[in-house]
Amino acid sequence: MSTVVAVNTYTHSVAYLSDKMLTSLKRIILWSGLDPSKLAGNWTLLDRGIRTWLRNGELRSVSLEVYRPVTRSLVGRWDFDIAYSYGVDDDGEMWVDTDAIRFAIKKCGIDPEGCDYRIIADTKPDHTHVYGWGPAQYFSTTGFVRQGIGTTIGAGSLASRVDYWRRA
* pLDDT given for residue 5 in this prediction: 47
* pLDDT given for residue 1 in this prediction: 60
What pLDDT, in 10s, does the model give residues 91-123? 668 999 999 998 988 887 778 899 999 999 999
* pLDDT given for residue 49 in this prediction: 98
Q: What is the mean pLDDT of residues 66-92?
A: 87
Banded pLDDT at 89 (limits 50, 70, 90): low
Name the more confident of 32 and 5: 32
Backbone angles phi, psi at 35, to 5 degrees: -85, 120
Hey, how many other C-beta atoms are within 10 angstroms of the C-beta on 65?
21
What pLDDT, in 10s, does the model give residues 6-54? 457 888 999 999 999 999 999 999 999 999 999 999 999 999 999 999 9
> Listing from the earlier edge strand, what are the strands of the sheet with 144-155?
94-96, 144-155, 158-167, 73-83, 59-68, 116-123
Mean pLDDT of the chain: 91
Q: Residue 2: pLDDT above 70?
A: no
Q: What percent of the chain clears pLDDT 70, i.e. is strictly above it?
A: 92
* Domains in the chain with CATH codes: 9-167 (3.30.900.10)
